[in-house]
Structure 1
Amino acid sequence: MKKKVLEVNDLRINFKTYAGVVQAVRGVSFELYEGETLAIVGESGSGKSVTSNALMKLIPQPPGIYAGGEINFNGRNIIPLSEKEMMKVRGNDISMIFQDPMTALNPTMRIGAQITEVLLKHKKVTNKDEAKKRAVELLDQVGIPFPEKRYKAYPHELSGGMRQRVVIAIALAADPKLLIADEPTTALDVTIQAQILELMKELQKKSNTSIIFITHDLGVVANVADRVAVMYAGQIVEYGTVEDIFYNPQHPYTWGLLGSMPDLNNSTDELLMAIPGSPPNLIDPPKGDAFAPRNEFAMKIDFEMEPPMFKVSDTHYAKTWLLHPDAPKMPVPEAVARRIKGYQQEGM
């Protein structure tokens, strides 16, 4: 049986603002096992990046507040840890790949120095020649050509794809047990994006690292993740294996995300779904189901009472009143049915 690396229970993160308290994360729970990839998917403002930053205790306090819940990493709740204690966890045990490699890298330092800094600090490598050798190996490992030459380069001398590979090399330098990738391919073109995703899969196989992959694009995770958590308005609204989410989606929000994705294998003109409206203001979260105002399938109860997390199967859960035994059976929208059929034909 695989070892449980991370267990998040009822996590709540608030932010104090002049306008009021923003309830950015509202009772999020999930778990992650050794060598597994969990994708957290949702629109901007859904709470996914706040969740990922909370896992490393990077939420500034104030204005941020850990309002409730636990983040158990390797069996220890890290929320009560001091900043000094957390500095030992970050880098050593948990590393992060940020969205924009240019802001993640120090523009005044050579690439090699930024990697060796991690090795000297976290891996307790005392010999600088040994650190350089390992840094060059890491650059080679992440697919950077002429690694010894790139070791001496500055960030601005590399392309966006190369810079992101360097960021991955830095994140892997301390052999972390958990790697958090926050929209790691958003700033890259489609070809480079595919290469980076493939690289992460290969590196995970070699190191057995657990990965949390944050993205707004459900299509990106199809061939990367083992399980998917769909977030909306600070909550997980659907949770399951990749097959559960792509072959048997249950929440109308998940339908919207799937239906808005073009089918690149379909040459016919197809109409895509659009999710109307915008996410709610989390200073004053709506009563009932937060997605109800944007949900064409919403029932009266959706505006009155928040749905529980219904069990679809042993691996699949969804937070929607449509799963209540007394709810009318709604057909999956045509655009979503097309995408499901496409994924099944592709054998995803």
Structure 2
Amino acid sequence: MESILQVKNLNISFNTYAGEVKAIRGVNFDLKKGETLAIVGESGSGKSVTTKSIMQLLPKSNSEIKQGSEILFDGKNLVELSDKEMEKVRGKDISMIFQDPMTSLNPTMKIGKQIAEPLIKHQSFSRKQAMDRALELLKLVGLPQPETRIHQYPHQFSGGQRQRIVIAVALACNPKVLIADEPTTALDVTIQAQILDLMKNLQKKIDTSIIFITHDLGVVANVADRVAVMYGGKIVEVGTVDEIFYNPQHPYTWGLISSMPSIDADDDELFVIPGSPPDLLNPPKGDAFALRNRYAMTIDLEEEPPMFKVSDTHYAATWLLHPDAPEVEPPLAVQKRQHKFRGNNHTEGDVF
């Protein structure tokens, strides 16, 4: 399948009073046409910084995308584009849905005008054409009474309705890539499920590719085709959703999966990954996860692991995959999933 977006050797630093924070350190991934790629990890792992760099939304005052970084889209390296050139890409070819819809919408503008704005700017629609299309989009995202509500302000809507409006704004120009940065975190579980279903249905209708940022593995299981696991500013494992959930290879992924509540759990205790994420003012010498990893070997403290190939679609950066590494048993929750995977006796939707 053809890649629509490629991120190569992405390195991003922030200049702070304490020194240089190396927030993103050599990130590589691609996004295929028509797929949903989920990027998961704890807060501070680099998920949002990575995707904001694609949109060139990082603050110019203290952020720096290092030389040699490439974000390839439509034959161009987005890192090299000027602000004016990026304005033609942002909102038209690549759109973003943020976590809090209220901060994404202008409280002083009626929602119809906010949806129409990118159509007038990027598609040269007349005002009437843009408003007609805005009404179509409100119907598409399932907003009730769109003919009346198109003339209302953001504060007149509930949180779930506002997120639908934000999705309508993002989809106005039929973008090739849609970045969703934890778009359901601020919503209750019922509305969250509705928004996720909406996004899946809309993706089929407009044939867009989605990067979905989240820390909620349950959400990932419902929306993703492939998953990239981030830790300490790096991608430590990538694979299909089945490979990551049923046959994870990195100890950090083991920890994330084991810490999810399960109705099959034999005890009342929830697994917790010990320790804290690394200090990226002074990134560790070897594997960034080594100090939190109960399976860590001496080499983990001395040398950073490469990406080892597990299958044609599955890679993980852990020394446990080296031919000379000892065999270890992952946590029981992971073993159960691996047994399902090898027996191929799981069905879609039974991840949790």
- Taking structure 1 as the reference length, what is the TM-score of the superposition? 0.96
Which residue is 2:315 aligned to?
Answer: 317
| 1:56-135 matches, cutoff 5 A | 56-68=55-67, 69-126=69-126, 128-135=127-134
Question: Following TM superposition, by how much is the alpha carbon of 1:340 offset from its aligned partner in structure 2, in angstroms?
Answer: 5.5
In the alignment, structure 1 residue 277 sits paired with structure 2 residue 279: no
- 2:225 aligned partner: 226
Q: Structure 2 CA distance, aligned partners of 1:66 and 1:217?
A: 28
Q: By how many angstroms is 1:266 displaced?
A: 3.5
Counterpart-to-counterpart distance in 2, 1:218 and 1:328: 29
Partners of 1:39 and 1:317 lie apart in 2 by 15
Q: Describe the SS at the equivalent of 1:280.
A: coil
> Structure 2: how far apart are the matches of 1:67 and 1:50?
14
Tell me the equivalent position of 2:141: 142
- For structure 2, which runs of at least 5 residues remain unmatched after alignment? none
1:188 aligned counterpart, secondary structure: coil
Identify the residue that residue 296 of structure 1 maps to in structure 2. Answer: 294
CA positional deviation for 1:338: 4.1
Please state how far the C-alpha of 1:129 moved relative to its aligned partner: 2.0
What residue number does 1:35 align with?
A: 34
Structure 1, unmatched stretches of 5+, are none
Residues of 1 paired with 2:197 and 2:348: CA distance?
Answer: 18
**Alpha carbon RMSD of aligned pairs, Å?**
1.5
Query: Secondary structure in 2 aligned to 1:196?
Result: helix
The separation in 2 between residues aligned to 1:95 and 1:137, in whole angstroms, is 18
Task: Give me the whole-angstrom Cα distance separating, in 1, the residues matched to 2:152 and 2:328.
Answer: 57
Tell me the equivalent position of 2:333.
335
- Distance in 2 (alpha carbons) for counterparts of 1:136 and 1:330: 57
In 2, the alpha carbon distance for the partners of 1:269 and 1:312 equals 31
Please say which of residues 330-339 and 74-83 is displaced more in the overlay.
330-339
CA contact (8 A) 1:49 1:214 kept: yes
Residue in 1 aligned with 2:216?
217
Determine if contact 2:14/2:22 at 8 Å carries over to the other structure.
Answer: yes
SS of the aligned residue for 1:180 comes to strand
- Residue 152 of structure 2 aligns with which residue? 153
Q: Deviations over 1:234-279 (max 9, x none)?
A: 000001111110110000000111011112x438644321011110
How far is 1:347 from its partner? 3.1
The CA deviation at 1:328 is 0.9
Instruction: State whether residues 110 and 155 of structure 1, in contact with CA within 8 Å, keep that contact through their aligned partners in structure 2.
Output: yes
SS in 2 for 1:222: helix
The one-letter amino acid paired with 1:120 is I
How far apart in 1 are the matches of 2:301 and 2:137? Answer: 52
Matches of 2:198 and 2:335, distance apart in 1: 31
Q: Which runs of 4+ in 1 moved over 6 A?
A: none
Kept in 2, the 8 Å contact 1:271–1:335? The answer is no
Matched, 1:180 2:184: no
Determine the C-alpha separation between the residues in 2 that align with 1:25 and 1:43: 14
Partner Cα separation in structure 1 for residue 267 and residue 306 of structure 2: 38
CA contact under 8 A between 1:259 and 1:339: conserved in structure 2?
Answer: no
CA distance in 2, matches of 1:55, 1:269: 43
Q: Quick check: 1:272–1:335 contact (8 Å CA) kept in 2? A: no
Report the residue type matching 2:294 in the other structure: E
Percent identity reads: 66
Asked whether the 8 Å contact 1:289–1:303 carries over to 2, the reply is yes
